[in-house]
Amino acid sequence: MTLIDGNAIIHRAYHAMPPMRSLDGRLVSVVYGFISMLLKIHRDLSPSHMVVAFDRPGPTFREEMYPQYQQQRPKLDDDFISQIPLVHDVVKAFGIPIYECDGFEADDVIGTIAEQVKSKQLTENRKKEIDQVIIITGDRDILQLVEDEKVFVFMPTKGLSEGKIYSEKDVVLRLGVSPKLIPSFKALAGDPSDNYPGVPGIGPKTAVSILSTFGSIDTLYRAVEAGKTALSKGVIEKLKSGKESAYLGLNLATIRKDAPITFSSKTACISSLDSLSARNELEKYGFQSLLRRLTGDATVVLSQRTKVTNTLKKEEKCEEQQSSQQELF
């Protein structure tokens, strides 16, 4: 099964793809990149089930908990925002269910679905057993969900063409801590990208060292409060004064697995992406090369009314560039 972090992949496509416009003048480069990713995922992984998770508009519980959460991030470009509903339409046309939840981020939706799949807490008899989940994302926070033999994370490393699948060992090699300790690591060291400080004076190296000894924030603070630690006096003072900030960071960093959604394996079960609605969607935007990839027919052509004009010739050039690069998986 593949769980796709829709927002993360949209952002990746926005920065990786050259500007492209449809016949009616709309920007569609993100749409092209997202569809290309979907086709590669289905071709290379042959998943039994596919799901896409998106953020919902409006504040989440994290912003209610800490109003400064992600407030330093620049405002999204209108060119980006205008393509989000187009991507939603594409996902629906391909027959892939969308999951989102008010008050929660896509990360939490993904964490909840992965947990329900692992726990087999499904609402109907499954047509096919889901043995393994691969999450497709560019968000390192989701690495905390990695669990060997059950949940893996694929992260693009170069545009949309190259990437790496992370096991628990790979997470440790990259971050210095195991997946389950990532929230504790961020609680101590903070997260500039999400705009929360952690414990003032505790950097990443010190956080890794502390967690290698104590294993979790709770164990650490029990030892500090009991005076049973070999940490330096300066570090202990920082931990004591920064305790409230540490637990705030822990709550912000932890991906929730209890969002009020129920995963349906029946609707997520998929054998082919090729359908009339999917073909019509590609016709609408003039994506001839993607239409050929979808159908597996190198001779299929667009109808006269949707043939690519000069404003979309970059689509063919982009496809040529992608085919010469390393494949996605």
Q: Residue by residue, what is the 3-state secondary structure of 266-321?
A: HHHECCCCCCHHHHHHHHHHCCHHHHHHHHCCCCCCCCHHHCCCHHHHHHHHHHHH
**Residue spans of alpha helices (H) in 20-102:** 29-45, 61-65, 78-81, 84-93
CB-based contact 188:246 (threshold 8 Å) = yes
Could you write out the DSSP letters of every residue in 207-249? Answer: HHHHHHHH-SHHHHHHHHHHT-----HHHHHHHHHTHHHHHHH
* Domain boundaries 179-253, corresponding CATH code: 1.10.150.20
The secondary element (H helix, E strand) that includes residue 10 is helix 6-16
Coil, strand or helix at 136:
strand
The SS3 of residue 13 is: helix
* CB-CB neighbours of 307 under 10 Å: 13
CA-based nearest residue to 35, from 297, 326, 284, 246: 284
**Residue 281 pLDDT greater than 90, yes or no:** yes
Q: What distance in Å separates the CA atoms of residue 44 and residue 54, rounded to the nearest whole number?
A: 23
Whether domain 2-175+256-268 has CATH 3.40.50.1010: yes
Question: Of residues 265 and 297, which shows the higher confidence score?
Answer: 265
Q: Which residues lie closer than 8 Å to 277 by C-beta, 6 or more apart? A: 93, 94, 95
DSSP conformation class of 142: G
Q: Mind listing the pLDDT tens digit for each residue in 199-250?
A: 999 999 999 999 999 999 999 999 999 988 889 999 999 999 999 999 999 9
Residue-wise pLDDT for 129-176, tens only, equals: 688 999 999 999 999 999 988 999 999 877 656 788 999 999 999 999
For residues 255-267, average pLDDT: 95
Question: Can you give the residue ranges of every domain in the chain?
Answer: 2-175+256-268, 179-253
Q: Which residues contact 55 (CB under 8 A, 6 or more apart)?
A: 7, 100, 105, 106
Residue 326 has pLDDT above 70, yes or no: no
| pLDDT at 7 (0 to 100) | 93
Q: Which helix (H) or strand (E) holds 112?
A: helix 106-119
Q: What is the mean pLDDT of the chain?
A: 87
- Buried (b) or exposed (e) across 251-265, using 16+ Cβ within 10 A? bbbbbbbebebebbb
DSSP annotation string for 177-212: S-GGGHHHHHHHH-BTTTTB--STT--HHHHHHHHH
Mean pLDDT lowest for which of 39-53, 65-79, 235-249, 273-287?
Answer: 65-79
Is a pLDDT exceeding 70 seen at residue 190?
A: yes
Radius of gyration of the chain, Cα coordinates, nearest whole angstrom: 22
The residue ranking higher by pLDDT, 315 or 74, is 74
